[in-house]
C-alpha cells in the first residue's frame, strides 16, 4: 500500500472517530435537545424574572383593595403574634396605604380603609389576636400613584399601648408619638391643641429626631391634620399650627429650619372615623416624613 493511500485512510478514520465522539459524548452535554446555538432572528429574548415580592410582606396594586401575600409575610405574621402574646394590653394598628388618586371603593371613605380591613381579615384568620385588638386606619401616601400593576406595600403596623394618649394620673389627653418606620412618624395631639405641653417621652423623641436631621441633612415635610369638628377654615389653620409647632420644637433642638417644610390638610385626610371620640383623637395629628438625600 502506497504512503499516500495510507495517509488518506488514516485521515478518514480520524474524521469518523471525531464525529462519533462529538455526537455520543460532547453534544448531549453542551446543547439542550432541540436547541440552536448562536443568535438567530427567531431567538426569543431571555425570560424576565418574575417581579420580586420579597420586599413586601403584603402588597397591593392601584385600584385593588386586596392585599397579596409576599414571601416575608409568614415572618412578619409570627412576630405580630409573638408581640401580642407577650403583652395583650396593647392594640395593633393596621394602616392601609393608599394614593389620593385612587377611587373610593363602595362602603369605604378611601382605599386605605378597604386595604386595612382586608389585612385585618387575614390577621384574624392566621393569628390569635382578637378583633377588638386590631384597629384599622388609612394612610395617605404622599407620592404619585405608581403605574398600573406596579406593586407597593399594602399596610404599615403600629402597636399602641392601652391608654396611650391619656395621662394615667390626670386622665387628660396628651401627645402620642407613632413611628411607622424610620422615615415616617406621627404625633397625635389633644383636642383643639397644637400644644405647648408635651410629656417627657415626646420631648426626648423630638430631641433625638432633631439630632438626626441636623446630622444627615435630610429634608423634612410636616403636615398638620385635624378631626372634623370645626369649620374648614378653622381646621386648616389648626392643622397649620400643629405642623409649625413640631417644626419649632425640632428647630429648638438644633434641626436647621431651612430643611423643614410645613403644610396643612385640615380635616381632609382622616386616618380614622370621625364618628367616634377615639377616631377623632387619632385624626388630630402631624405627619412627619423624612426625605433622604
Give the pLDDT confidence of 18-52 residue by residue, as tens digits: 444 444 333 333 333 233 222 223 333 333 344 44
Query: Residue range 236-265: average pLDDT?
Result: 97
54-162 and 174-293 share one CATH topology? yes
CA distance 115 to 95: 8
Q: For strands 176-181 and 184-188, give the pairing.
A: antiparallel
54-162: what fold? 60s Ribosomal Protein L30; Chain: A; (3.30.1330)
- Tell me which CATH homologous superfamily contains domain 174-293: OmpA-like domain (3.30.1330.60)
Which residues on neighbouring strands pair with residue 161, listed in sequence order? 90
pLDDT above 90 as % of the chain: 70
Instruction: For residues 188 and 180, give the distance between their C-alpha atoms in angstroms, rounded to a whole number.
Output: 13
pLDDT of residue 24: 39
Distances from the Cα of 7 to the Cα of 15, 16, 19, angstroms: 12, 14, 19
| Closest C-alpha among 153, 255, 65 to residue 288 | 255
15 has a pLDDT exceeding 80? no
| Window from 22-31, 90-99, 161-170 with minimum mean pLDDT | 22-31
Lowest pLDDT segment from 40-49, 147-156, 173-182: 40-49
Rounded Cα–Cα distance for residues 273 and 245 (Å): 25
Is residue 208 pLDDT above 90, yes or no? yes
Number of C-alpha atoms within 13 angstroms, CB side, residue 112?
Answer: 25
> Would you kindly state where each structural domain of the chain is located, as residue ranges?
54-162, 174-293
Amino acid at each position: 500500500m502506497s504512503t499516500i493511500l495510507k495517509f488518506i485512510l488514516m485521515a478518514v478514520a480520524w474524521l469518523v472517530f471525531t464525529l462519533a465522539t462529538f455526537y455520543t459524548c460532547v453534544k448531549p452535554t453542551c446543547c439542550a435537545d432541540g436547541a440552536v446555538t448562536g443568535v438567530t432572528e427567531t431567538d426569543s429574548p431571555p425570560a424576565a424574572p418574575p417581579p420580586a415580592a420579597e420586599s413586601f410582606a403584603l402588597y397591593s396594586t392601584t385600584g385593588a383593595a386586596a392585599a397579596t401575600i409576599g414571601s416575608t409575610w409568614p415572618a412578619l405574621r409570627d412576630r405580630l403574634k409573638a408581640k401580642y402574646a407577650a403583652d395583650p394590653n396593647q392594640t395593633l394598628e393596621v394602616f392601609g396605604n393608599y394614593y389620593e388618586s385612587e377611587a373610593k371603593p363602595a362602603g369605604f371613605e378611601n382605599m386605605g380603609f378597604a386595604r386595612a380591613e382586608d389585612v385585618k381579615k387575614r390577621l384574624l384568620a392566621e393569628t390569635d389576636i382578637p378583633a377588638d385588638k386590631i384597629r384599622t386606619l388609612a394612610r395617605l401616601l404622599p407620592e404619585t400613584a405608581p403605574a398600573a400593576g406596579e406593586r407597593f406595600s399594602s399596610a404599615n403596623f403600629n402597636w399602641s399601648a392601652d391608654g396611650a394618649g391619656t395621662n394615667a394620673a390626670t386622665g387628660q389627653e396628651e401627645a402620642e408619638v407613632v413611628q411607622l418606620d424610620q422615615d415616617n412618624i406621627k404625633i397625635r395631639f389633644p383636642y383643639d391643641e397644637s400644644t405647648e405641653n408635651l410629656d417627657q417621652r415626646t420631648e426626648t423623641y423630638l430631641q433625638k429626631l432633631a439630632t438626626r436631621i441636623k446630622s444627615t441633612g435630610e429634608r423634612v415635610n410636616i403636615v398638620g391634620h385635624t378631626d372634623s369638628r370645626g369649620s374648614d377654615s378653622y381646621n386648616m389653620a389648626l392643622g397649620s399650627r400643629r405642623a409649625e409647632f413640631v417644626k419649632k420644637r425640632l428647630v429648638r433642638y438644633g434641626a436647621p429650619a431651612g430643611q423643614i417644610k410645613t403644610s396643612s390638610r385640615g380635616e381632609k385626610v382622616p386616618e380614622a372615623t370621625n364618628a367616634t371620640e377615639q377616631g377623632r383623637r387619632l385624626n388630630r395629628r402631624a405627619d412627619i416624613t423624612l426625605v433622604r438625600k
